[in-house]
Amino acid sequence: MPSDIRVRIAPSPTGPLHIGTARTALFNYLFARHVGGTFLLRLEDTDVARSTTAFEKDILDGLHWLGITWDEGPGVAGVEEAGPYAPYRQMQRLDTYAEAAARLLLADRAYPCYCTPEELDADRRAQEAAKEAPRYVGRCAALTPAQRAAREAQGRRSVTRFRVRPGVVGWNDLVRDRVEIDTSNLGGDFVIVRADGTPLYHFTVVVDDAAMAISHVIRGEDHVSNTPKHILLFEALGYAVPVFGHLPLILNPDGTKMSKRKSQTAVADYIAQGFVREALVNYFAFLGWSPGTEEEVFSLAELEQRFELEKVQKGGARFDRERLEWLNGQWIRRLDDDDLIGRLLPFLEAAHVAGQIDRLPPEGELRALLPIVRERLPTLATIVDLVGYLWVDELDVDPALLRPRRWDAATTLAGLAAAREAIAAHDAVTWEADELEPPLRALAEARGWRAGDLFMAIRVATTGRTATPPLFDTLVALGRERTLARLDAAIVRQGAVVRG
Ligand code: GLU
C-alpha cells in the first residue's frame, strides 16, 4: 500500500556511525516499511570543517551492513544517488537555502545582523554576570535601511538572523504527547546563515524537510529543544509543519548519558567484536520499542511487520550489553553452517595475523567443530578464546590451573599419567567422544577420584583452560597425536613440580 508517509535519516558525516544514529535510522526505516511509506537518507554535511568522506563511508557502509536500505539518497543499492529530490547532500543544495533565506529577508522574517564577535561576547558576559540565560539582545533587529547601508559602507559583514516571534510553540509529539515551549526560552533571534554565506543546521534541516516532502520527523530526544525553532521556520517559510516524534535517549546501564569517551558508541566497534547484523538490528529495535509481549528474537523482516511508533516508550533506553550478547548468541545459533563459517573466518584470520593462533583451520575442520561451538559464542570473536588452543603449536599452561582444587601435586601427576595411558589405548578408529569417556570414568572410579577432577586436569593439560566445549569432543577435535603430546608435556612439567 503506497502512502504519503515520507521519513528520513539525516546524518552529519562528522563522526563514525553512532549507535544512536543507527537506532534512529532503524526506527524510521521500520516505520516507513510498516506503513508502506518512503525512507530517505540525506547527508547533512554543511559543517565542512568536521565532515569527511571517510565518516560518510563509515555511516553508509554501516547502515548497509545492518541491512537498512533507503529508497532515496546517496548509495541507494549501490547507486551513487537516486531519488526525485536529488541532490541529497546539503553542500550540493546551497542554492535552495540561499533562495529560502532571501525570501525570509524580503518578508522581514529574518534580518542582517552586523554585531561583531566582541559585541556578542560582551553581551554574553553581561548576561552571565546578571545570571541570565544567554540570548541575542536584538541590537540589529530594528535597523533602518539607512543604518544597514552605513554598516555595509564600513565594510561590516552580516549574518542572517531569524526573528523569533513571541508566544508558545507546541506540537503533538508521537512519543512524548503534547510539548509546548515558550519562545522566550529559545535564546532570541538565531543565526540561519553565517557571514560567509554557509547556512546553519536549523535552517537547512527545515528547508530540506520541506523540499523533500518529509511528513514525519523522527529523531532523538536530544533534538526536542531544536524542534520549536524548526516549527517557527516552517511557519515563516509557509510550509506545512511535519509530525514530530522524539525517540528516547540511549543511556549507559547506570542511567547516565552515553558519551563517546565513556561508552562504546561506534557501530564499527560492535562489528569488530563479532556482533552479527541480525542481533544488532534486533537489539537496536528494543532501544525504545517493545512489541508488548515476551517475544525477544525478531528478524528485520519480522520487525517491519510488527513495529509501531505507538509502542515507543518515553523513558530513556538503557544499553544492556549482556542482553545484546544473549541476542547475538541466539542469532549465531540460527545461522546455517556456511554462513557461520564465512562470518567466523575473518576473526580467525585476524587472530592468525596477530599471532594468537599458529595456523588457520581448513574449512572442513571448522565445519566439524560447529556442533560444539555454535551454542557457546556470545560473539563471533570469542571463537578464538573458545577453541583457539586447537591451532597453537606450543600450548601455554598455567601450572596453578593444572592441579584441580581437591588434588595435591602428586595426585595430579598420577592422574595425568594414568589418563595418558588410558587415552593412548585408543587408535584412530576409536578416537570418538563416546569411546574416550567410559574408560576414563572407570579409571577415576577405580582410583577413588572424582571424574570431574580427573577431567579438569586433562582439560587444562590439553587446552590450557578450565572452560571449554565438552572435553571429549574437544579431544576429538584436537586429534590423538596432539592430545598425547600435550599430556606428555604436562606430565613432564608436573613431574618437575612434584620433585620440587
Ligand atoms: N544532522 C542532524 C544530526 O545528525 C540531523 C538531525 C535531524 O534528524 O533533524 O543530528
Q: 440 pLDDT exceeds 80?
A: yes
Q: Can you read off the three cell numbers belonging to residue 14?
A: 562528522
Residue 41 lies in a domain: yes
Q: Are 125 and 182 part of one and the same domain?
A: yes
Residue 147 lies in a domain: yes
CATH number at residue 97: 3.40.50.620
Query: Do 195 and 238 belong to one domain?
Result: yes
pLDDT at 431: 96
Q: Are 24 and 56 in contact (CB under 8 A)?
A: no
Cα dihedral 456/462/468/470 (nearest 10): -80
What are the cell numbers at 90?
A: 546539503
Q: Could you read off the pLDDT of 317-343 as tens digits, one per residue?
A: 999 999 999 999 999 999 999 999 999
What's residue 389's pLDDT? 98
> CB 160: neighbour CB atoms within 10 A?
23
Residues 420 and 464 in one domain: yes
Query: Does 330 fall in a domain?
Result: no
Shared domain for 258 and 163, answered yes or no, is: no
**Position 323 in a domain:** no
Asked if residue 329 belongs to a domain, the reply is no
Tens-place pLDDT, residues 154-196: 999 999 999 999 999 999 999 999 999 999 999 999 999 999 9
Q: From the alpha carbon of 220, which atom of ligand 1 is closest?
A: 8
Which ligand 1 atom minimizes the distance to the CA of 8?
8
Q: What is the mean pLDDT of residues 142-153?
A: 97
What pLDDT shows up at residue 384?
97
- The pLDDT tens digits of the residues spanning 3-30 come to 899 999 999 999 999 999 999 999 999 9
User: What's the whole-number mean pLDDT along residues 192-210?
Assistant: 97
Q: Is residue 1 part of a domain?
A: no
User: Where residue 423 sits, what CATH number does that domain have?
Assistant: 1.10.10.350
Angle of helix 227-237 versus helix 201-211 axis, rounded to 10 = 60
Q: Which residues touch 291 (CB under 8 Å, ≥6 apart)?
A: 298, 306, 311
Show the DSSP H helices in 356-408 as ranges.
Answer: 363-373, 382-387, 399-402
- As given in the structure block, the three cell numbers for residue 404 are 584441580
Does the Cβ of 208 fall within 6 Å of ligand 1?
A: no
Nearest CA, atom 6, ligand 1: 10
Q: Cell numbers at residue 416, please?
A: 595425568
Evaluate whether residue 222 is within a structural domain.
yes
Tell me: do 231 and 359 sit in the same domain: no
For residues 140 and 206, state if they share a domain.
yes
Amino acid residing at 191: V
Query: Is pLDDT of 387 > 80?
Result: yes
Q: What is the atom index within ligand 1 of the atom nearest the CA of 44?
A: 1
Q: Which residue has the cell 509543519?
A: 241
For residue 175, the number of C-alpha atoms closer than 13 Å in the C-beta half-sphere is 24
Q: Which three cell numbers stand for residue 12?
A: 552529519
Indicate if the pLDDT at residue 2 is higher than 70. no
- Residue 355, judged by CB atoms within 10 A of its CB (0-12, 13-18, 19+), counts as exposed
Q: Atom 10, ligand 1: which residue's CA is nearest? A: 11
Among protein residues, the one whose CA lies closest to atom 5 of ligand 1: 10
Q: CA dist 202 to 30, 105, 379, 444, 468, Å? A: 26, 16, 40, 75, 55
Q: 170 with 80, same domain?
A: no
Question: Are the CB atoms for 30 and 307 separated by under 8 Å?
Answer: yes
The least confident of 29-38, 69-78, 127-136, 482-491 is 69-78
Say which DSSP state 397 is in: -
267 in the same domain as 157: no
Residue 260: predicted pLDDT: 75
Mean model confidence pLDDT for the chain = 96
Pair 362, 439 in one domain? no
The structural domain count of the chain equals: 4
Q: Looking at ligand 1, which atom is closest to the CA of residue 219?
A: 8
**Ligand 1, pocket-test mutation among 6, 9, 12, most atoms within 8 A of CB:** 12
Residue 133 gets the label, from left (phi > 0), alpha (psi -120 to 50) or beta, of beta
Determine whether the shortest distance from the Cβ of 205 to ligand 1 is under 6 A: yes
CB of 11 shorter than 6 A to ligand 1: yes
Q: What's the CA dihedral at 340, 342, 70, 234 to 10 degrees?
A: 80
Same domain, yes or no: 125 and 243: yes
CA dihedral defined by 46, 50, 52, 58, rounded to 10 degrees?
-100
pLDDT, average across residues 372-392? 97
* Opening angle at CA 168, ends 166 and 173, nearest 5: 145
Q: Which of 288, 318, 348 is the last residue of a domain?
A: 318
Q: From the CA of 64, how far away is ligand 1's center (Å)?
A: 19
The contacts of residue 179 (CB under 8 Å, 6+ apart) are 170, 171, 173, 224, 227
146 and 113 housed in the same domain: yes
Does the CB atom of residue 221 touch ligand 1 within 6 A?
no
Query: How far does the centroid of ligand 1 lie from the alpha carbon of residue 249, in Å?
Result: 14
For residue 33, the tally of other CB atoms under 10 A from its CB is 19
Continuous segment of H or E residues that includes residue 237: helix 227-237
Indicate which atom in ligand 1 lies nearest the CA of residue 222: 10
Q: What is the pLDDT of residue 408?
A: 96
Residue 198 within any structural domain of the chain: yes
Query: Are β-strands 250-251 and 243-247 bridged in parallel, bridged antiparallel, or unpaired?
Result: unpaired
Q: pLDDT at position 77, please? A: 74
Q: Is 246 in the pocket of ligand 1 (CB under 6 A)?
A: no
Q: How far does residue 475's CA lie from ligand 1's centre (Å)? A: 54
pLDDT at 1: 53
Which of these three, 247, 265, 289, is where a domain ends?
A: 247
153 and 243 fall within a common domain:
yes
Does the CB atom of residue 10 touch ligand 1 within 6 A?
yes
Which stretches does DSSP call E strand in 397-473?
A: none
Q: Where a domain ends, among 372, 391, 410?
A: 391
Q: Is the pLDDT of residue 79 over 90?
A: no
In the reported structure, the alpha carbon of residue 42 is separated from the centroid of ligand 1 by a whole-number distance in angstroms of 9
Residues of the domain holding 166? 93-247
Q: Which three cell numbers stand for residue 118?
A: 566582541
Residues annotated catalytic, as ranges: 260
State the pTM of this model.
0.93
Q: What is the C-alpha separation between 117 and 59, in angstroms, rounded?
A: 35
